[in-house]
Structures are given as C-alpha cells and as structure tokens.
Chain A
C-alpha cells in the first residue's frame, strides 16, 4: 500500500515535470510550426544555471529564480538570432538545424562547466519527509515539485484561456496567417512564446536537478519523452499535453516499479528480470505507436481548420 501510494505520487510528479517541458514544446510547435529538438538543451541549461547560481548566491530559491530568468533570456536570444529564420521552412530543416544546436549546447556546457556532472544540493527544509496520510511519508521536495508544477499549469491555463495574449496564442495555433493579417505583431508574439517555452523547459530542468545529477545530455532522453507526449496529446494542444504527460509519467513510473513483479508471476525469474527493464522502457513508445495507429492526430488534437 505504502509503495503503491509512493509510486503513484512519483508518477504524478514525473508527469507534471514532463508537462512543463511538453507545454513549451507544443506551444512552439503549434504556433510557429517549429520542431525544436534543442528544447532539451534549454532544459539542461536551466539545470546548469540553477546549480551555478545556487552556488554563487548560497540560496536554492534565489538560484532557481535567477536560472529561470536566465533561460528566458537565453530562449529569446536563441529565437532572435537563429530560430526565427527557420519559420516556414520544411520540418526537416528544423530537425537538422536544432540538431546542430544540441551539438553546440552540449559542447558549450562541456567547455564551460567541464565534463563532470554538477550537484544541486537542496536546503534542509526541503529534504524532510512530510506525512501525507497516517503512516505514509513523502519527501517534501517532490511534493513541492507537484505543487509548483500544478500552479504553473493553472497559471498557464488561465493565461492562455483568459488573457489577451493567451487569446492571440490560441488564435495563432489555429490559424497563423490570419492573425498576422489582422495586424498582430506576430514577430513579437513568436519571440514571447518561444521565451515562455524556454522558461518552462528551464523550470523543469532546475526542478529535476536536485533529484538527478546535472549532466551533459540530460535533456535528450527527456526531450524524446516530451515529443512522445505532444504526439500522443495532439500537437498544439496544451490540454492534450497535460493529460498525455500525466499518462506517460504514470505509465513510465508504475511500469518500472511494478512490471518486474508482474512478469515474475508469468515468466521464470531470470527471464523476467532481463525482460522487465527493456519492456518498461518500451511501454510509452508502445503507447505512442498504438495511439498513432488508432488516432494519427493524437488523442486531443487542437482545433485546426
């Protein structure tokens, strides 16, 4: 029971983290029609910035805030200097150009911070276990991630559904040319959306940093997961990204936790222990393949034409 609750919360936490990453990706994809493989690099930069700033200032929260601002600025600079010229090009061009950016970022990080990973230590008040149910404790930091991510999701929802900028974003997602024709400063909007996406990716990175080590290439695996999520959820749809992210986070975490035991009841011990890790890594890709075969547009496609 304890394990089930704990793993369930872990799944939720991972799913929400993935949502932060996928939300930026799906916004950029939905509005600018840009496939940004370098989104994972922004996630990585968020973690590196946070580790550096936290060491400078000596405060975790201050470091995190500075890192958030730094990734926002980095995203805006990146958009204005390079990615802006890719809008309207073939998706293949996006894949290649941003693939080049991944190479660049990984190497730049190696140059600046060195090949060894960094650690981002947590303040003491975030490391204590918190009782959530009678007899069940859960790490405060993971609870904090859940809270922050839910808050951001809520703000994002309100921002997109209730504000003027959000209206423009939604309009841009459903018809790019039309809002340009209506006299909206589309360049500024694009820069803004990209910066927002970068900040979300940075937030995901810096929140994940204390749990994992901060290392080169940390953004690549999770980027593929984020892509899986936006494809499952339907490209351009924030709601779809949210639900798909929770789904993927749950399936991945629960699969890893419980699949070995389940398999052991069917297969022999040795076969189960070799098959389980591979199978649980495959589960989400399997899910994506099934979704794409059954509903090629994703589960919750954004309203398009």
Chain B
C-alpha cells in the first residue's frame, strides 16, 4: 500500500475544504454557499449510509429515501405536538428508522437481486403514500417545522455555522463508524456474503442475520440524515421519500465509487454541485445531467474513486 495516492490527496483536500468552508463563507459574506453545503453534507451522510449496505453489504436498496422521510417526520411530528427537545426528537427518529428497517429488511432479505431492488422500492412507495395520507401532519402538502430541534443551549441549530458543523460532525462520525464496521469481523463477514453467500453459509454463518443487522444500522444512519434535513429545510413532505430521491442517493454512491469509504461523500458533493452549476447555467439542466449519468455508467467503472485510482497507476 502506497503512502501517497491521488485519491487520498483528493479526499484530504475535500475534507479540509468542508471543514474550512464556514470561514470562507464568513470572510466572503457568501451565506448561500454555507446553506448549499449544509444540504450537501446531509445528503452525503445519507449516501454514505446507503453505501454501507450497497457497497459493503451487496444489498441494492432502491428505497433508501424512505429513511430521510421517517427521520424528518419524527422531528416534524414531535415538533408539531409540542416536543421541541432534540434529545427526544433525534433518538425517536433513530428508533423509528431502526424499526422500519427491521421490518422491511426482514421481509425484503428473503429475496435477492433485482427482486430486492423492487421490493425495497415498493416499501418506500408505501411509506410515501402513508405520509401523503397523514392529514393531521399536512398530507401531500408537507409539514412545516416552525422550531428547529432544541438542544437546551448545548448547540443552537438556528445558527448556520453551528448547524453546519453539527452536520459535518455527524458525517465524519458516520464515516468513521462505517470504517470501523467494514474492518471488523462483522464487516468482513458482510463482505464475504457480498462475494459469495452460499459459501459463507456453508462455513456456517447465518447470512440473513448479518445482513439484517447491517440493513438496520444503515437505516438508522439515514434516519439521522433525515432528522438533520428536516431541521435544515424547516420542512418535511412526502416528496423527500419519492423514488426519484432514492435514485439520487444511488447515483451519488455510484458516482463517487461504491464500496469505498469516502466515495459516496465525493459523489454527493460532485452530484449536487453539478446540479447546482447546471441549473444556473440553464433551466433545462436535466437535459445535460441525464446523458451525463448514462456516460458515467457506460465508461466510468468504479466511479470517481475508481478513476482516481487508475490515474495513480497510469
């Protein structure tokens, strides 16, 4: 293993940039960039959580946006009912995501391959329709979160810089956790299952149990992202669970490099910045984005991380 590689350098640069961004924002007076990057960091967190099951666990979930909604609705609904404390809201968001992941994971893991993609999609659509039917909490129109989660003076989420650093800390925490998981015995079993499930079963590993635990952990991580996202936009609606959102998350993971530690983070940054850049360039940004995705799939195996790895060798 080389001490210096291009991908390591790019990753370090990007992380430094993310850490120093509020300083730049303050110095230049550009508040918009901080708001934009708060969103990017939160969605990078969601993409990283998806990478845990897709990249390391080999489970292609097409319903990951459901957790964004569940985490968000946990915050929004509690706030609506007068429970403003983040010490209650965030644990509830995590618990709700975990419960949902446990149930749909237990059912979905009976299938594999494209059936798994489809059943996770179907469950996310169900969650979407349930949220649309919640008349008390805004139904289709969504729910405005009038007050951000209150951490009783510990941290103020309405302060842009503090909120940004909270999101960034969560992202780093989750990536660290994924790193520890991937290199633990548990993570090695998962990666073994990804390459050859039958063989792992033959050695005596209860494959479904390992995969289910991984699925739940990933769901909780994404639920955290959902809770942060609701605080960021002060709003949560069924639209965050729509299947195109799940598609966006998948694109971020693949674009950055599935199964790499920082790939999804890079993928989220690049994808969302590209979206932002193209939408400023032209109203019809998707006209460029769509074919670009096609080209990335056709020619960019291993995503950006794979590309950087090849640069290094070449």
Which of A62-70, A94-102, A164-172 is near enough to bind chain B?
A: A94-102
Q: List the A side residues contacting B285 at CB < 8 Å.
A: 107
User: Are B286 and A227 in contact, with the CB atoms below 8 A?
Assistant: no
Could you tell me the dominant secondary structure of chain B's interface residues? helix
Residue tally, chain A, CB below 8 Å to B: 45
User: Are B114 and A235 in contact, with the CB atoms below 8 A?
Assistant: yes
Interface residues, chain B, with chain A CB atoms under 8 Å away: 54, 60, 62, 107-108, 110-115, 117-119, 121-123, 125-126, 129-130, 132-136, 243-244, 247, 250-251, 254, 284-287, 289-294, 296-298
User: Are B133 and A97 in contact, with the CB atoms below 8 A?
Assistant: no
8 Å CB contacts to B: which residues of A77-118?
82, 85-86, 89, 91-93, 95-97, 99-108, 110-111
User: Are A288 and B119 in contact, with the CB atoms below 8 A?
Assistant: yes
Q: List the A side residues contacting B117 at CB < 8 Å.
A: 35, 91, 95
**What are some 13 contacts across the A-B interface (CB < 8 A)?**
A96-B297, A97-B294, A97-B297, A101-B290, A101-B294, A102-B290, A104-B286, A277-B133, A278-B134, A281-B129, A282-B126, A292-B108, A296-B115
Query: How many angstroms between the C-alpha atoms of A274 and B54 in the bound complex?
Result: 36
User: Are A224 and B284 in contact, with the CB atoms below 8 A?
Assistant: no
Closest to A230 in B: B118
Q: List the B side residues contacting A102 at CB < 8 Å.
A: 244, 290
User: Are B114 and A296 in contact, with the CB atoms below 8 A?
Assistant: no
8 Å CB contacts to B: which residues of A258-294?
274-275, 277-279, 281-282, 285-286, 288-289, 292-293
Q: Does A231 contact B (CB under 8 A)?
A: yes
Query: How many angstroms between the C-alpha atoms of A99 and B126 in the bound complex?
Result: 20
| Contact A110 to B123, CB < 8 A, known contacts A86-B297, A97-B293, A224-B243 | no
Smallest distance from the beta carbon of A196 to chain B beta carbons, Å?
Answer: 21
Q: List the B side residues contacting A285 at CB < 8 Å.
A: 122-123, 125-126, 129
Query: How many angstroms between the C-alpha atoms of A183 and B287 in the bound complex?
Result: 39
| Contact A110 to B284, CB < 8 A, known contacts A95-B62, A285-B122, A285-B123 | yes
Smallest distance from the beta carbon of B66 to chain A beta carbons, Å?
Answer: 12
Q: Does A32 contact B (CB under 8 A)?
A: no
Q: List the A side residues contacting B118 at CB < 8 Å.
A: 227-228, 231, 288, 292
User: Are A106 and B286 in contact, with the CB atoms below 8 A?
Assistant: yes
Closest to A106 in B: B286
Q: List the B side residues contacting A282 at CB < 8 Å.
A: 126, 129-130
| Contact A100 to B291, CB < 8 A, known contacts A285-B122, A285-B126 | yes
User: Are B132 and A293 in contact, with the CB atoms below 8 A?
Assistant: no
User: Are B107 and A289 in contact, with the CB atoms below 8 A?
Assistant: yes
Inter-chain CB contacts under 8 Å: number? 134
Closest to B298 in A: A85
Interface residues, chain A, with chain B CB atoms under 8 Å away: 29, 35, 82, 85-86, 89, 91-93, 95-97, 99-108, 110-111, 220, 224, 227-228, 231, 235, 274-275, 277-279, 281-282, 285-286, 288-289, 292-293, 296-297
Smallest distance from the beta carbon of B129 to chain A beta carbons, Å?
Answer: 4
User: Are B244 and A220 in contact, with the CB atoms below 8 A?
Assistant: yes
Q: List the A side residues contacting B110 at CB < 8 Å.
A: 292-293, 296
Closest to A92 in B: B60
Closest to B129 in A: A281
Pick the contact of A96 from B243, B244, B293 — CB < 8 Å?
B293
Smallest distance from the beta carbon of A220 to chain B beta carbons, Å?
Answer: 7
| Contact A111 to B291, CB < 8 A, known contacts A95-B62, A292-B119 | no
User: Are A104 and B133 in contact, with the CB atoms below 8 A?
Assistant: no
Q: List the A side residues contacting B113 at CB < 8 Å.
A: 91
User: Are B284 and A289 in contact, with the CB atoms below 8 A?
Assistant: no
Q: List the A side residues contacting B254 at CB < 8 Å.
A: 92, 96
User: Are B247 and A292 in contact, with the CB atoms below 8 A?
Assistant: no
Smallest distance from the beta carbon of A78 to chain B beta carbons, Å?
Answer: 11
| Contact A228 to B122, CB < 8 A, known contacts A91-B113, A100-B297, A102-B290 | yes
Query: How many angstroms between the C-alpha atoms of A289 and B126 in the bound complex?
Result: 10
Pick the contact of A111 from B112, B115, B287, B298 — CB < 8 Å?
B287
| Contact A99 to B125, CB < 8 A, known contacts A85-B298, A111-B287, A274-B133 | no
Smallest distance from the beta carbon of A264 to chain B beta carbons, Å?
Answer: 15
Q: A235-B114, A292-B111 are in contact. List 6 more A-B contacts (CB 8 A).
A: A96-B296, A97-B298, A110-B284, A275-B133, A285-B125, A289-B126
Smallest distance from the beta carbon of B87 to chain A beta carbons, Å?
Answer: 31
Smallest distance from the beta carbon of B286 to chain A beta carbons, Å?
Answer: 4
User: Are B293 and A103 in contact, with the CB atoms below 8 A?
Assistant: yes
Highest count of chain A CB atoms <10 Å: which of B111, B133, B250? B133
